[in-house]
Amino acid sequence: MGVAIPLTMIAASALIRPSVPEQGKRAVYESGEVPTGNTRIRFNIQYYMVALLFVVFDIETVLIFPWTVIYRDAVTQFGLARALLPMLGFIGVLVVGLAWAWRNGAVRWVRSEHVPGQTAD
């Protein structure tokens, strides 16, 4: 029944609506922009690298926010060492990872010579 209702509605509207084909309907919808080129372009690999590095900071923020909220209470209850050191350790691990990625050229923005018509800005 749940499947039948939408199928019936689609079928009914297909039967009674007028058919007015025009170019604007067939064009790719780009939120009002006029589409240029086709979808088969290669993105610069750097976009993915930056996206992955963003995840590092993303996760860091997610975990640091609740920690800062309870930090004062945690210090009074468990002492400075147990409240601060695990978070420092966590950030230290992330810093090592970021430093490694940086040194290995993950943030060096290279222009691809192989993809025509693409700019990096």
Partner 1 sequence: MMPLQAPISPDWLALTPAIVLGVFAMVLFLLDSIDPDESNDGLLAGVATVGTASAMVVAGVFLLSGVGAGEGVSVFNGQLVVDGMALFFTFIFTSVAALICLASIEYLAGTDDIAGYYSLVVLATTGMTVMAAANSLATVFVSLELLSLPSYGLVAYLKNDRGSVEAGMKYFLIGALSSAVFAYGISLVYGVTGSLLLPDIASALAGGETLANLGGLLGVGVLMLVGGFAFKTASVPFHFWAPEAYEGAPAPVSAFLSSASKAAGFVIAFRVFTVAFPIETVAGTIDWVLAFQILAVVTMTLGNFAAATQENVKRMLAYSSVGHAGYVLIGLAALTGQGSGEIVLGAGMIHLLVYGFMNTGAFLFVAMAEYWEVGRTFEDYNGLATKAPVACVAMTVFMFSLAGLPIGGGFLSKYYLFAGAVGAGVWWLAGVAAINSALSLFYYSRVVKAMWLEEPNGNLGGIDTRGYPTGLYSAVMIAAVATVLLLPALGVFSDVAFEAANAVLRLGP
Of 104, 113, 109, nearest to 121 by C-alpha is 109
Is 101 within 8 Å of 53 (Cβ atoms)?
yes
Q: In the complex with partner 1, which residue's Cβ is closer, 35 or 105?
A: 105
Query: Considering the complex, what minimum distance in angstroms separates the CB of residue 111 from partner 1?
Result: 21
Query: Considering the complex, what minimum distance in angstroms separates the CB of residue 55 from partner 1?
Result: 12
Query: Considering the complex, what minimum distance in angstroms separates the CB of residue 56 from partner 1?
Result: 13
Of 43, 45, 41, 40, nearest to 110 by C-alpha is 45
Residues that bind partner 1 (CB under 8 A): 93, 96-97, 99-100, 102-105
Q: In the complex with partner 1, which residue's Cβ is closer, 35 or 97?
A: 97
Q: In the complex with partner 1, which residue's Cβ is closer, 9 or 96?
A: 96
Of 107, 88, 95, nearest to 50 by C-alpha is 107
- The radius of gyration of the chain's CA atoms, rounded to the nearest angstrom, is 26
Q: In the complex with partner 1, which residue's Cβ is closer, 10 or 96?
A: 96
